[in-house]
Structure 1
């Protein structure tokens, strides 16, 4: 059940988010989650305005958001690095001719990287696949067992597309920080309309300073519109 958004609750979370360490990060996340309905509405509006354009789903998983994008976009690129999950994604979206599944991670450079699944991945793959990460520091992954996956140079991938990129959704379990840092320094940024990002500093506290720096940079931009409080 969603938490009710009230001025008192916001004040409580804002004050408690100043606590040091993990406690403060957890309350900062609670505060951002109060903005989830606003972020969802912003994404719906962006997708409505993207008719015929290009949309990209990074961390597509089972394809729920890819399908929503496909209803409006001319072309959707759905990135999913895990081979098991990518196979399910192709099955789920096989009826959508305007969706292309790319079995790879999106990153600041091309190469081969480790993908860490959760310890319980084999017990419930569909649910557990949502938490797989490229970062060994993430708290709910199995550091002892990783699979090698391809990483695509995402800024270069965007450069190779023709036309404007309407919407990018990014839910990549901690890897969003390095990728957003690269995008913010790249000329292709000017061709993007909206970017919606779920950040993961509550799971990876080491990312907190860099995530806050990204928030400061995003606030100074008029294009693209960047929402780092998605979900």
Structure 2
């Protein structure tokens, strides 16, 4: 997602609209992302959870944001560091995030040499990870991390392959979400029936409590 430059994206977007074709959900999410970023003052703080190789980080920088990028996958982290390791606007943290601090196993697909396949790396082991590599990673307590940030947080983007459920649950229970501008979440119900049930419960809770700054349909 967001692999194109803004110019490439907007040309393709208007081409779809010219032919009156409804945009695919990912295209609509990208359009909404750009519209949101245009409305945010420059120099805000963007937290990229599951930064992968940094495509979303790149766009956040293009809108004048400062970025904290989390990426635990060692293959993706190498590329992310090559792209942004010398950029003073970017802080790279080679860890996963969760609802509690702990050690955990990160699972890769067997074809993770293809850098785009690292997007599937997850703390949840699924059949696609069979015969792939596994690494022990440090998981930080996301709520405690957010509480330690002094600057206002404009955006938290969360694409963490299943760990989003425990993170959002913890943020709701603590109330830390109220101090964040917008929280953009890509959900992964496909990974397991249990995860699908948790995401469904979160959708109900967000609707019931009239929470408007958490978007579970991003991505």
Which bracket does the TM-score occupy, shorter chain normalised?
0.7 to 0.9
Q: Which ranges of 4 or more aligned residues in structure 1 deviate by more than 3 Å?
A: 33-38, 220-224
SS at match of 1:77: strand
State how 1:53-202 maps to structure 2 within 5 Å. 53-94=44-85, 96-122=87-113, 124=114, 126-136=115-125, 138-142=126-130, 145-202=133-190
The alignment's TM-score, normalised by the length of structure 2, stands at 0.82
The answer on 1:207 being equivalent to 2:198 is no
Given that 2:108 and 2:132 are in contact with CA atoms closer than 8 Å, whether structure 1 keeps it comes out as no
Given that 1:104 and 1:152 are in contact with CA atoms closer than 8 Å, whether structure 2 keeps it comes out as yes
Match of 1:228 in 2: 216
In structure 1, what is the Cα distance between the partners aligned to 2:83 and 2:123?
A: 24
Q: How many residues align?
A: 201
Given that 1:36 and 1:229 are in contact with CA atoms closer than 8 Å, whether structure 2 keeps it comes out as no
SS at match of 2:34: helix
Given that 1:189 and 1:224 are in contact with CA atoms closer than 8 Å, whether structure 2 keeps it comes out as no
Unaligned runs of 5+ in 1: 11-32
Given that 2:111 and 2:132 are in contact with CA atoms closer than 8 Å, whether structure 1 keeps it comes out as no
In structure 2, what is the Cα distance between the partners aligned to 1:140 and 1:51?
A: 40
SS at match of 1:190: helix
What displacement does 1:145 show? 4.5
| CA offsets 1:198-223 (integer angstroms, 9 cap, x no match) | 11112333311111111122234565
SS at match of 1:78: strand
The alignment's TM-score, normalised by the length of structure 1, stands at 0.78
Unaligned runs of 5+ in 2: 1-11
Given that 1:59 and 1:80 are in contact with CA atoms closer than 8 Å, whether structure 2 keeps it comes out as yes
Stretch of structure 1 that moved more, 92-101 or 217-226: 217-226
